[in-house]
Amino acid sequence: MSIAEKNLALFLLGPGNALIGESPYPTITDEHDIIIRIAYVGVCGSDVSFWTKGGIGQKVDPSRPLIMGHEASGTVHEIGSAVSSLKVGDNVAIEPGLPCRRCLPCKGGRYNLCSQMLFAADPPFSHGTLRKYFKLAEDFCYKLPQFLSLEEGVLVEPLAVAVHVCRLAEIGLGQDVVVFGSGTIGLLCAVVSKSMGAQKIIAADVNASRLEFSRQFADTGIYKPETNDTSEDIARKIKKIHNLSKGADTVLEATGIATCIGAGIHVLKKGGTFIQAGLGKPEIQFPITTLSEKEMTMKGSFRYGAGDYELALHLLESKKVPSLSQLISSVSAFENTTEAWERTRKGAGIKNLIRGPQG
């Protein structure tokens, strides 16, 4: 039986306009539902877009305030009658999107492409995880292993993104991989690639301290492009410095920046695979003839799908990826959410967390 409780939430009304308000306590409507007491919520680049511009694509409207947040961990608070894999008190990582389960992509195993997907913090009405209590279906909650803290539990979401990227790339033993971007996603793509047997992993970023962190955390080679480097320059130099005479087997693009995308196409070997994970400008200049001539395969990667969270947790449990606690740079109180967003906006830290409401 559910006891209605106070449920503080963080609403975004428009660019630069956020406030804390009350949200109804979620009710269990399906026997497979679970209500979670949110412990921590991570800040993602997309949150910064919402904070500064009001959204990506569809924007938040003051007449329809939206609860933000999608990377989260928490503790099971209440369960539906058919829930068998979790019990009250369990610590969980959250997969924050509920697909319809009935459309062709859902039944075809690609639920991340569901057209009716209810994803946390999606305008206009799909509210996010920055609240005390959050409801989702049992199969989208994953019990955290004993040794993993609730703070680290938040990182399972971006790790699942990286797992999805690397599985699409079909990274195999002995491959050479170049990753563009050493933010959270780029770093996690590097460690997941390593766990899948990649040989040389080169991280490229314009920020020297991020590259240094990548070298230490993900054991990658590094490359910092120079200010006036063209895409071809970047590719040529990476190949030279890191002895990739034929080019990289795989490129994972985690910046969305045109120059990096171009560099990725040029650094790839003939027949290689390029995965676009980073989201930047909707349209860019692109070296299309190189794509043809190299007969490369290019795929988009969007969020995560069947088996990604499971594999992410396996990688953590079996220590095939290093502890992700090193990526956590700060923890802000719920009341200071916008400070956490500002921190990320300015590029301070790698992953900034927000504590769930305490009251």
Binding residues (CB under 8 A) for other proteins: these are: 32, 101-104, 106-111, 137-139, 305-307, 310
> Cβ of residue 190: shortest distance to other proteins, in angstroms?
26
**By 3-state DSSP, what share of the chain in percent is helix, strand and coil, each rounded to 5?**
30, 30, 40
What residues are paired with 94 via a beta bridge? 141
What is the Cα gyration radius of the chain? 20
> Cβ of residue 235: shortest distance to other proteins, in angstroms?
35
What residues are paired with 180 via a beta bridge? 204, 253
Backbone angles phi, psi at 333, to 5 degrees: -70, 155
Q: In this structure, how many other beta carbons lie within 10 angstroms of the beta carbon of residue 269? A: 18
Q: Whose CA is closest to 66, among 136, 135, 127, 131?
A: 127
Which two three-digit tokens encode residue 44?
């993602």
CA angle 154, 158, 160 (to 5 degrees): 105
- DSSP codes joined into one string, 69-110: --EEEEEEEEE-TT--S--TT-EEEE--EE--S-SHHHHTT-
DSSP character for 350?
Answer: S
Which two three-digit tokens encode residue 53?
């511009």
Complex with other proteins: residue 107 or 281, whichever CB lies closer: 107
Complex with other proteins: residue 14 or 307, whichever CB lies closer: 307
Q: How far apart are CA 49 and CA 303, in angstroms?
A: 17
At how many degrees (to 10) do helices 184-195 and 208-218 cross?
Answer: 30
> Cβ of residue 111: shortest distance to other proteins, in angstroms?
6
Complex with other proteins: residue 51 or 111, whichever CB lies closer: 111
Complex with other proteins: residue 137 or 291, whichever CB lies closer: 137
> Cβ of residue 163: shortest distance to other proteins, in angstroms?
14
Complex with other proteins: residue 132 or 303, whichever CB lies closer: 303
Q: How far apart are CA 35 and CA 58, in angstroms?
A: 28
> Cβ of residue 25: shortest distance to other proteins, in angstroms?
24
Complex with other proteins: residue 89 or 108, whichever CB lies closer: 108
Number of helices (H) and strands (E) in the chain: give both, helices first: 11, 20
> Cβ of residue 309: shortest distance to other proteins, in angstroms?
10
> Cβ of residue 108: shortest distance to other proteins, in angstroms?
4
Identity at 358, one-letter amino acid code:
Q
Complex with other proteins: residue 307 or 322, whichever CB lies closer: 307
> Cβ of residue 106: shortest distance to other proteins, in angstroms?
8
Complex with other proteins: residue 14 or 105, whichever CB lies closer: 105
